Structure 1
Amino acid sequence: MLGLLQGLICVSLAHSAVSVPAQPAQLAWLPPSHPHQRPAPRGEYRMEPGYSPYPGGKDAPELRMPSGFSRNIPERRIHSHNDYWRDVPVYTALSHGALSIEADVWLNPKDDKLYVSHNVASLTRARTFSRLYIDQLVDVLSRANVHDEETAFFDKTDYWTMANEREERRLWTSFYEGNLTPIQLLVDLKTRGNETYHTVLRELEPLRSRPVLVLLTGNGINLDVRSQVAPQMSRDVFLDAPLLRLDETWQGMDGGHYGWNSTLAPMASASFASATSWDGRKAISAAQETTLSQLLRTAQGRGFKTRLWSTPRWPTHVRDRVWRTLYDLGTDWLDADDIEAAAAF
């Protein structure tokens, strides 16, 4: 039998040699599952970018991984300052691993909607808070936290139950697979008054079941707003505390007296220029470093995350020196206008 098989193989090879002229440069390498596979001549095959051995190429179902949405994007504790300036708000920052973004909002009393811009002159009807931020964050988190027929197929594979713990874990898994750090959204209220605050609460409704930590800043920490937020026993919108005024107190709408704490305000911020006399042009002095370090450590000791905004942007060597110093001193958030430079830092 073995001899017969060997003879058949020889005949087959001989037949191939006669019927198919040898043209190595034109022979295509076919994947193992192909019914008419012919191995590429030795030296004619090599790996190339974009190659896939699966039928369907890069679109093959075997290569469709749910957690691939943020694959190879390391999380970075970068705050995307003035995020709405970017070509594509939300996505540009998240694609570089930033975990915090910021939107300045203005209430238009003509339609009771929030619009995004740094100043009134740059407002347009198309750039609404809902369209630029709420809708996009809902879309991003829906794509990152897949819940479909595939999820249901494997719902009993581990010890989590789909209706309880597993669902809770799914909702509170952030854009980064397996990381329980939520995306942080700072909403800087540009228009004053309770109307703006209550409009923000209304427009945030689609995010309430999503892993997004919302902090109000700007006019959002004025007395009229914090006097309402502080007395709340249960809240899903928080404040950005003033880093240089953490000891101030105020009276709430319920008549009680309140002060800054990390339960009310998970983060404390200040402008770089107000926090230190050092401008970054030269190496920081020992005295300036001690003062800045104590400011950050004191706030962190009380449970606040720290952020210094509007750090120098130019010259770039000054910017990088300031970033390096703040990072070494242990600031929790690196505030950045140039998100690409901060990601490569």
Structure 2
Amino acid sequence: MAPVTRRSVLTGLGATTAAVLAPPAGSAFADGREHGPRPLWRAHAHNDYEHPRPLLDALDHRFGSVEADIFLVDGELLVAHSADELDPARTLDTLYLAPLAARVRAERGSVYRGHRRPLQLLIDIKTEGSSTYLALDRRLERYKDLFTTYTHGRVHSGPVTAVVSGDRAARTPMEAQRVRRAFYDGRLTDLGTSKASFTSLISDNWTLNFTWSGVGAFPEAERRKLRDAVRAAHARGQRVRFWATPDLAGPARDAVWAELLAAGVDHLNTDDLAGLEAFLDAHRTA
């Protein structure tokens, strides 16, 4: 299988899809500039689909990672937070895959023009993991030039890296694949048990691992635990994210975010796109 390249993305996505997100006159790129605003690679849009414009709002705020929860319903992958919110019109294709394919073509092979680093698409499986993953894999294959791909022991970078989270049963079919268009989201308990070519991300619940919520001093033992976990993941080429961190605007949230940055945590989790954008800009970090 030939390596995934930016050139193959440009030729393989299709003009019809690409036209959806072509930059309009007067946009940041209409004047021919090769680079857009600096992406915030550490910004992760938790439950991104709950924003008024899924994906697009996060991209407008320059986020480097977005999250979509999926349910397998009658062969279709629907995006919602819970089963009672399912809408047949809100599919993974319509909200994420087709818009991303269009964006990449419009921006000359990258999600953010002039920035080669992949956007992370975290896909959280809410229905039975094995069957849902197999349906997801078939869908990702339709956009195969869009995604970072594991092929017979090698990883070929694409404009978007899909990471599968949620129901743990997805791991079994993923491990059996010799060609894979997605990577696995591990937990802290998975540290040291698999390679980054399979488990590219380590995520965990902040409140199950740390007692500190941003009020008062960060206990030194917990600071060491956090930094040791990040070092262990980074030594294997894996990124780190925590969910359930404080997310109400205020000093406590900023204190936790500052400690996460200082420890080298790769993705800061939020529902407040503008708030995290302003925080990262103020701290001059990617």
Per the normalisation by structure 1, the TM-score is 0.66
1:270-314 residue CA offsets vs partner (Å, 9 max, x unmatched) = 111122121212221222211211122122122211111121112
In 1, Cα distance between equivalents of 2:30 and 2:128: 47
Percent identity over paired residues: 32
In 2, Cα distance between equivalents of 1:232 and 1:94: 31
In 2, Cα distance between equivalents of 1:331 and 1:238: 19
In 1, Cα distance between equivalents of 2:226 and 2:30: 48
After superposition, residues 192-271 of structure 1 pair within 5 angstroms as: 192-210=128-146, 211-219=159-167, 222=168, 224-247=169-192, 259-271=193-205
In 1, Cα distance between equivalents of 2:53 and 2:212: 33
Quick one: structure 1 residues 177 and 239, their matched pair in 2 at CA, closer, same or farther if it must change by over 3 Å?
same
1:52-73 residue CA offsets vs partner (Å, 9 max, x unmatched) = xxxxxx969xx933456x7334
Q: Does 1:182 align with 2:145?
A: no
Quick one: structure 1 residues 294 and 116, their matched pair in 2 at CA, closer, same or farther if it must change by over 3 Å?
same
Counterpart code for 1:328: A
Measured on the aligned residues, the alpha-carbon RMSD in Å equals 2.1
Q: Does 1:328 align with 2:262?
A: yes
In 1, Cα distance between equivalents of 2:129 and 2:242: 26
Indicate if the aligned counterparts of 1:99 and 1:184 stay in contact, CA closer than 8 A. Answer: yes
Aligned to 2:152: none
Q: Does 1:300 align with 2:265?
A: no
In 1, Cα distance between equivalents of 2:233 and 2:37: 33
Match of 1:65 among 31, 39, 42: 31
Cα deviation for residue 92 of structure 1 reads 0.8
Aligned to 2:246: 312
Higher percent of residues as strand: 2
In 2, Cα distance between equivalents of 1:66 and 1:107: 41
How many residue pairs get aligned? The number is 242
Aligned to 2:69: 104
Partner-residue secondary structure (3-state), 2:94: helix
Quick one: structure 1 residues 95 and 132, their matched pair in 2 at CA, closer, same or farther if it must change by over 3 Å?
same
In 2, Cα distance between equivalents of 1:198 and 1:231: 11
In structure 2, stretches of 5+ residues that fail to align are: 1-23, 147-158, 280-286
Partner-residue secondary structure (3-state), 1:184: strand
Counterpart code for 1:189: I
| Runs of 4+ residues deviating >3 angstroms | 63-68, 73-76
Quick one: structure 1 residues 205 and 65, their matched pair in 2 at CA, closer, same or farther if it must change by over 3 Å?
farther
1:164-205 residue CA offsets vs partner (Å, 9 max, x unmatched) = xxxxxxx4xx22233221111111110004321111112223
In 1, Cα distance between equivalents of 2:111 and 2:170: 30
1:40-83 residue CA offsets vs partner (Å, 9 max, x unmatched) = xxxxxxxxxxxxxxxxxx969xx933456x73344332111110
In structure 1, stretches of 5+ residues that fail to align are: 1-57, 146-170, 248-258
Quick one: structure 1 residues 274 and 74, their matched pair in 2 at CA, closer, same or farther if it must change by over 3 Å?
same
